[in-house]
Amino acid sequence: MASNKDKLLEKIASRDARIGVIGLGYVGLPLVVEFGHGGFVSTGFEVDQRKADAINRGESYIPDVPTAHVAELVKAGKLSATTDFSGLKDQDIIIICVPTPLRKTKDPDVSFILSASEKIQATLKPGQLVILESTTYPGTTDEVLKPMFDETGLKLDEDYFLEQCFVIRWE
């Protein structure tokens, strides 16, 4: 029987993996659009209903993302947006792209990451890959996300997978 990792890799190779991006700002929206262009069915998860509605109408609100691209992907069924986070359970890959504003102490405010992680924790299932793309300190996945996801009873690198992309903020 194929492992969860092998099943996920096959879905990615065949473009059958469903991609969910939490946060449709200047990082998340271009990312979800690129996955759509790559042939994946991609869903944006957003707390702002106006942003979700705009995407579903085929409109972009980010200058670097042409409305024509969004409209094309929505029409093709490759891109949608929602404020219903229960749909995270249907995703194979979940990418967290939420804001991490700096506090006065220059430390990242991870409250948005925590909120997104709680939503993932509520729906996490075997075979999912979670990627943290938000700007934060190294170790956030191991120190914050992993303990939350382990509370579900699922095991890292066996049942679910976790990665952190580093985004450098220049001040």
Domain count across the chain = 1
Q: Which helix (H) or strand (E) holds 23?
A: none
Structural domain contains residue 170? no
Structural domain contains residue 169? no
Supply the CATH number for residue 112's domain. 3.40.50.720
Quote the Cα angle for 15-55-31, to 5°.
Answer: 45
Q: Which residues of 33-52 are buried (b: 16+ CB within 10 A; e: fewer)?
A: bebbeeebbbbbbbbeeebb
Please tell me the number of Cα atoms within 13 Å of 114 on its side-chain side: 6
Per-residue pLDDT of the chain (171 residues; tens, 9 = 90+): 889 999 999 999 999 999 999 999 999 999 999 999 999 999 999 999 999 999 999 999 999 999 999 999 999 999 999 999 999 999 999 999 998 877 888 777 889 999 999 999 999 999 999 999 887 777 888 888 999 999 999 999 999 999 987 554 444
The residue segments making up the domain with residue 57 are 4-164
Q: What is the pTM of this model?
A: 0.93
Structural domain contains residue 140? yes
